[in-house]
Structure 1
Amino acid sequence: MPAQTRATATPLHLFNTAGPEDAARTLLTCLHSTRWARRLAAHRPYPDAPALLAAADEAAYDLTPDDLAEALAAESLPDLPAGTYAAAGTALRAAHAAYESRFGHVFVICLDGIPAAEALDRTLEGIRSRLANDPEEERAVTAEELRRLAGQRLRHALRGAGR
């Protein structure tokens, strides 16, 4: 692709024309499930960003327990906002430790649309309320949160594409 065209190409066009491994690597930054990433990369090209987002969403509903475990292994707690008190960080780590002890994996939550000032409170509230879930119910909630996170991350990667 000529340099001038490459400079003006949309992120979606670059994704659609990337090699399969490069496309899968990009997708793995959104959701670390190899099967999910390969499935989406194999179905390129996508006509527009909404089509890719819909395909990503649909593929996320098909995650197996092994796919979820793979994705969860790559997740970490959300970053705390700058200026967060040490006590708040300690409370978050303690709540997360209780969650991980109960369910055996990292806590995930999609905070899309939540103001940064509310992120810590929402995360703590989410952990505390979800600790009451039974393991099967929490697996379903976790899968939904991963699906939402993947969509959020993919939208961020495609910002400006298809609009």
Structure 2
Amino acid sequence: MTQPPPALAALAATDAAGLRELLLEVCSSPAWAAAVAATRPWHDRAELSAANAAATAGLSAADLRDAMAGHARIGTPKPGDAVSEREQAGVRDADPSVLAELRAANTAYEAKFGHVFLVCATGRTADGMLAALRARHPNDPATEAETVREELRKINEIRLDRLLDAPQ
């Protein structure tokens, strides 16, 4: 078997507490972090990606709430949080009327589902995020929970890639 890329090997070799901390920066669900950590060592990105997918698929409703708690409201990146600001860069120069519509749509979504609207915002414009929010609002809770799970998997994947691509 070939050696894993250096960044992946370094991540896999991180002590348990350090790995937990790094993984919780990717996804704020302790259950997700524990499930991913339990699959190490990873020999390639595909193995880490599979660990993310399996861990995300296995999250309970409470675990999903833990994961969503780590995400800023769409249209309102957390000030000073580089990850939130980078992922929601599409709202940076958005028209104020679109941001107002996002706030209203978020409020309606949160009232219906009881949690923030979670979407993989990387590469999306404010208009695109608003369209996704409006398209998903009619979902029933079970359908929306599975959509949220898939969006979370994509977000985690991007964050894991960034972690591995960061300068060592």
Would the TM-score normalized by the shorter structure come out above 0.5? Answer: yes
Which whole-Å CA distance do the structure 2 matches of 1:141 and 1:119 have between them? 19
1:95 correspondence with 2:105 = yes
1:153 correspondence with 2:163 = no
Partner of 2:41: 45
Partner of 2:16: 20
Q: Which moved more, 1:132-141 or 1:72-81?
A: 72-81
Partner of 1:85: 95
Query: Whose relative contact order is higher, 1 or 2, with alpha carbons under 8 Å and at least 6 apart?
Result: 1
Give unmatched runs, 5+ long, in structure 2. 75-87
**Residues 36 and 60 in structure 1, CA contact (< 8 A), matched pair in contact too:** yes
Which whole-Å CA distance do the structure 1 matches of 2:70 and 2:26 have between them? 10
Give unmatched runs, 5+ long, in structure 1. 1-8
Scaled by the length of structure 2, what TM-score is found? 0.80
Partner of 1:6: none
Aligned residues: 149
Deviations 1:112-143 (A, max 9, x none): 5x3xxx52122101111111111111111111
1:122 correspondence with 2:128 = yes
The sequence identity of aligned pairs, in percent, is 32
Scaled by the length of structure 1, what TM-score is found? 0.83
Work out which of the two has the higher radius of gyration on C-alpha atoms and give 1 or 2.
Answer: 1
Amino acid at match of 1:51: E
Structural RMSD (CA):
2.0
Which whole-Å CA distance do the structure 2 matches of 1:42 and 1:132 have between them? 37
Deviations 1:29-48 (A, max 9, x none): 22111011012213221112
1:67 correspondence with 2:63 = yes
Relative to structure 1, is the Cα distance of residues 101 and 34 closer, same or farther in structure 2, using a 3 angstrom cutoff? same
Which whole-Å CA distance do the structure 2 matches of 1:98 and 1:140 have between them? 19
